[in-house]
Amino acid sequence: MRIAFCLYKYFPFGGLQRDFLRVALACQARGHAIRVYTLEWRGDIPAGFELVLVPVRALSNCRRYAKFSAWVAAHLHGDPADRLVGFNKMPGLDVYFAADPCYEDKARTLRNPLYRLSGRYRHFAAYERAVFGAESRTEILMISPLQMPLFQKYYGTPDARLHLLPPGIAADRRAPINAAAIRAEFRSEFGIQENGLLLLQIGSGFKTKGLDRSLKALAALPQTLARRCRLIAIGDDDPKLFRAQAQALAIAEHVSILRGRSDILRFLLGADLLVHPAYNENTGTVLLEAVVAGLPVLTTAVCGYAHHIAEADAGVVVAEPFYAARARLRAGSDAGGRTRAPVLAPQRARLCRSGRHLQQCRTCGRRDHQRALMDAGEVFLDEPFRSLWAGRDPFVAVEALAGEVYRELEGRRTLRTEVAGRGYFVKIHRGIGWAEIAKNLATLRLPVLGAANEWLAIQRLRDLGVDSMRAVAFGLRGRNPARQLSFIITEELAPTISLEDYCLGWAQHPPSLRLKRALLVAVAQAARRMHLGGVNHRDFYICHFLLHLQPPPTADRLRLSLIDLHRAQVRDITPRRWRDKDLAALYFSVLDMPLTRHDRLRFLSAYFAQPLRRVLRDEAPLLARLANEAQRLQARFARKSAAGEMS
């Protein structure tokens, strides 16, 4: 199915824009072709997206948006799509994702009555009616229960067309296993003292999000507490007015206003309180992102997601007027300036548990018991190790496991063991030392500190529908990244054979054409899902695909599992650079196989889920880079082989 998406502007750090990207990527991961109509796109374009920049101009936004809608309708008439999904209200949508609040209610309750005589009002009211009107056929995906009765009050929208979605939280906002180390590094980088308090505000549109309120609240704190506080605001907006306000309030040295950025998790882990005193907020996804990162929240009740904060006991929700919120913030200190209110107290561990439970219940109901246990702590044991190690220290017990040792290095040990007649692979990491960390960083490589990479990658691949190993035990201990202890135990995948070994005899004994094509498509689809889901492998060679031999593989029935994930990286979106590195490594690893040009083109068509002609047109720079990168890998492999022979 070809799905067309409409939004007026895309930039990486807006809430509506992030919602759009998550939905579009999820549709793409399920095999649908994605087309995007927009007036402006800032940031990377995900692989496989057909981006259409609508070439219309006008003196006013209203006129420009009207031209946008007309242009899109005309373009779809000549090049149809199966569904049209909008993230801004406009006529002709099949589906509307309700990221914005009810415009009619704002116009009637927050504006002067004369406002409704303006052309701006007539435009936006008509576009909202085109979506929510009783006669419209648009299906509406609601993300705020507070807004549903407002739309029905003004438009009489039938219940059957309103579909309430649970809140979505990006996986990269959850507090990772090494959250304490990230927090310590962040606070050191930003010069935050041990007794310092960092207040954080996140969101584009500083006026709507209430940054002026945050500045007034900070200025109203007792001096003994104010000296310890610092406010960092992050968002894509003009900071000039708010910097002037901070100067006027004599708190400029305590305030930093930063542009939108991609490392938000570091700020969530390093801060002591998220402040979000919004004047108007449909949902407020950042509230939930703070909670799952273990950060307390102070927010206003106008936010659609504020009730989740109260239900999870993850902060303070205050009603208007705003002086109540300021009073709560001031109540955070006693006469000596010592923090005592729950909202400013160091209760990150409790809030981490509350936040993880909130995420599990609200957005991840499909996750099984194993993933829930993973979220609860730094040790996970499934059977048979839960019973086998009952009452024992898992880090001592794992060192006592015996079996065939596959690799023994100073900081890592890999072995195969058997328990109750079943095989398991055990990887024990004992810390790589500061020297190794420095060496990796000096060569611009991210060091692999332990088993957490593999653990997180296995969970993400499972969520993406990519077959991999099943982890039955995991543990991590220690905050020092150079001496961190960790382990992971996975079930043995048997009977299997690496895809490299399976294909060794193809030159002498070619497989059936249908089987070869089925394997090509299976590898391409696994790579596609992995990259679209934010995972890059970093050792993406054909030997790391295991082909299951039971039942015997056929063109209609085969199963591949991806292994060796200890260097994998997990993000919300895979950067193009890392995607290309994976594809180049895969290409290099099949150079000696008897694959034809048609085989390679079939792989590309399956990977991009696009007609081959479009792939060759749109991805020509990538194809050239793949060839160059494969040659570089070949040269490096030849140098290593020569060095090995000389030694």
Give catalytic residue positions: 539
- List the structure tokens of 2: 């070809």
| 3-state SS, residue 476 | strand
Cα 111 versus chain centre, distance? 37
Preceding omega of 46 cis (within 30 degrees of 0): no
The strand pairing partners of 379, in sequence order, are 475
Q: What is the DSSP letter of 117?
A: G
Q: 449 and 484 in contact (C-beta within 8 Å)?
A: yes
Preceding omega of 394 cis (within 30 degrees of 0): no
Q: What Å distances lie between residue 380 and 467, 471, 570, CA to CA?
A: 21, 9, 20
Full DSSP string of 64-100: HHHHHHHHHHHHHHHS--SEEEESS--TT-SEEEE-S
Q: 485 and 534 in contact (C-beta within 8 Å)?
A: no
End-to-end CA distance of the chain: 57
- List the structure tokens of 526: 């696994």
Preceding omega of 145 cis (within 30 degrees of 0): no
Q: What is the DSSP letter of 159?
A: G
Q: 47 and 41 in contact (C-beta within 8 Å)?
A: no
Map tokens 């990887």 to a residue: 427
User: Residue 568 burial (CB < 10 Å; 0-12/13-18/19+)?
Assistant: buried
Long-range CB pairs of 403-412 (<8 Å, 24+ gap) are 411/436
| 3-state SS, residue 426 | strand
Alpha helices in 400-432 (DSSP H): none
- List the structure tokens of 146: 């507070």
- List the structure tokens of 161: 């067309």
Residue 200: which H helix or E strand, with range?
A: strand 197-202
Q: What is the DSSP letter of 272?
A: S
Q: Count Cβ neighbours within 10 Å for each residue of 543-559 and write b for 16 or more, e otherwise.
A: ebbbbbeeeebeeeebe
How many Å apart are CA 431 and CA 416, to the nearest integer? 21
Alpha helices in 465-575 (DSSP H): 499-502, 513-532
3-state SS of the chain: helix, strand, coil percent to 5?
Answer: 45, 20, 35
